[in-house]
Structure 1
Amino acid sequence: MTSATPVGDAHPYLRAASAGVRHHTRTLTAETATAPVPADRTHLDVLHAHLIALHRLVDQLQAATRSPHPAAGRQLATAGTRLWQAGAALHDAFHLLPTVHETSADEEECHPERLPEGPPVLTICQRHLAAGHLVRRTTTPTDLNSPLHGHSTTCAQ
């Protein structure tokens, strides 16, 4: 069996994660050809985890790149801000989707506080809050809320 990852590749896990996202996109596209499948909370939670992991990676890369290559470091910082904005939008969309209990009108209203183990843990919220603390240490509120600017669709080289 041959591997899609070149021998000696320094980033095999990143390539595998990207391949997984591409595969999921193709699968979802094939499924929606017959009947559109709306996003659910689980799907958005996993996608949010992927975006936040990418955000952390880009943040580490920009910190290491900024000193020797300031212009590239600034562009990586901008990319990190955009990833944070995308993660925030996913988090907001997550909370706009109905829970399992809200979709079935026949069931009694959900009361997670009555569960013996307590309310269920919202991993997306914990992840988002933790990432938010890191983002706010290095990014101004103006940058976090700014629209995409200063970028073109043409390649410089």
Structure 2
Amino acid sequence: MTSRTRPGDAHPYLRAASAGVRHHTRALTPSEANPPRSADRMHLDVLHAHLTALLQLLDRLAENTRPAHPAAGCHLATAHTRLWQATSEVHSAFHLLPYDSAAEAEPSACHPEWLPEGPPVLTICQRHLAAGHIIRRKTTPTDLRAHTTACVR
């Protein structure tokens, strides 16, 4: 797979985002020059933001595809549900990691508690709640627990 944008490509930003994820994955692969690193809260916050953006894209694709191609739309809806489950697990992992006040709250004259979106450490929760609201409007609790929907292939 190549990440180069072709002339007339309708999805250059999606290709660039995929290339960025692949690059980051390679950068985290352990080697002699690059010792293994565990996840930290900043990585999981950024990954959660990426997953919620993918949720929105997949939701829109499923919604637009289902009328013309019901079976394909159903599979996209299943993928949407499973991506939500992955997003939820990343959110849970974020809260299980230790808080590193030195890395996450650089001393400065700014006051993050005054930000309209709240302190930076809480933005993952706000993003997760907003995504969860959309999921719960379109997905049943049974689908969320079962890791699948009732699609017929």
Is contact 2:78-2:149 (8 Å) kept? no
d(CA) in 1 for partners of 2:143, 2:129: 18
d(CA) in 2 for partners of 1:131, 1:25: 25
d(CA) in 2 for partners of 1:117, 1:45: 16
Aligned to 1:39: 39
Indicate whether 1:86 and 2:86 are aligned: yes
**Aligned residue runs from structure 1 range 1-40, under 5 A:** 4-30=4-30, 34-40=34-40
Aligned to 1:120: 119
Cα deviation, residue 116, structure 1: 6.3
Partner SS, residue 142 of structure 1: helix
Is contact 1:41-1:94 (8 Å) kept? yes
Which ranges of structure 1 fall in alignment gaps of 5 or more residues?
103-114
Q: Which amino acid aligns with 2:119?
A: P
Which ranges of structure 2 fall in alignment gaps of 5 or more residues?
103-109
Cα deviation, residue 36, structure 1: 1.7
Q: TM-score, normalised by structure 2?
A: 0.81
List structure 1 runs of 4+ shifted beyond 2 angstroms: 30-35, 115-121, 147-151
Partner SS, residue 77 of structure 1: helix
Q: Which amino acid aligns with 2:62?
A: Q
**Aligned residue runs from structure 1 range 88-103, under 5 A:** 88-101=88-101
How many residues align? The count is: 139
When the two chains are superposed, the root-mean-square deviation of aligned CA atoms in Å is: 2.7
